[in-house]
Structure 1
Amino acid sequence: MWWLYLYVGLSTAGILVLGVLAVRVFAEVQRLAGQVARSTDDLTRAAERLSRAAEPLMERAGDISRT
């Protein structure tokens, strides 16, 4: 009968370990999602700056091709 208590105790400990690991994974996923959001914002701002910087070149290229 003692083996039954052992199995129940081990399975409970296993479930607790899995629960702790799940919480750690959730926290890391949240942190990664924040980093991805910041990177996306940075890339968007960089693309907007590049677009603004390229506008004069696009206008000049249009003038050159018409002459």
Structure 2
Amino acid sequence: MLWPMFFLVVAFCGIAVLGVLAVRVGLEVRRFSRAVGDSSERITRAAENLERAALPLAVRSGRGHGAGGGGRAEGQDPNEA
């Protein structure tokens, strides 16, 4: 009767360890997803700032939104690279 009880205690301890590790993994995943979300927002803001900063240069070179025609010559095919 000693060996079955020993194996039962060992199995219970193993399941308890797996449960604790699962909780820790869940918490780390939540923390990681929050960090990814924050980074995504910062990248979006940086892209918007870059676009805002580059717009005057693009307009000056004739390729901006306000230049009309998007910088293409008359009669040029827009699908042509």
State the TM-score, normalized to the length of structure 1: 0.90
Letter in 2 for 1:27: L
Would you tell me which structure has more helix in proportion to its own residues?
Answer: 1
Q: Identity of paired residues, percent?
A: 48
Q: Partner of 1:15 in structure 2?
A: 15
Structure 1 segments of 4+ aligned residues over 3 angstroms from their partners: none
Q: CA deviation at 1:37?
A: 0.3
Q: How does 1:42-57 map to 2 (within 5 A)?
A: 42-57=42-57
Q: Which has the higher contact order (CA 8 A, sep 6+)?
A: 2
Unpaired stretches in structure 1, ≥5 consecutive residues: none
Q: CA deviation at 1:24?
A: 0.4
Q: Partner of 2:78 in structure 1?
A: none
Which structure has the larger Rg over C-alpha atoms? 2
| Pairs aligned (count) | 65
Unpaired stretches in structure 2, ≥5 consecutive residues: 64-70, 74-81
Measured against aligned partners, the alpha-carbon deviations of 1:3-24 in whole angstroms (never above 9, x if no partner) come to 0000011000000000000000
1-structure distance, mates of 2:61, 2:10: 73
| RMSD of aligned residue pairs (Cα, Å) | 1.6
State the TM-score, normalized to the length of structure 2: 0.75
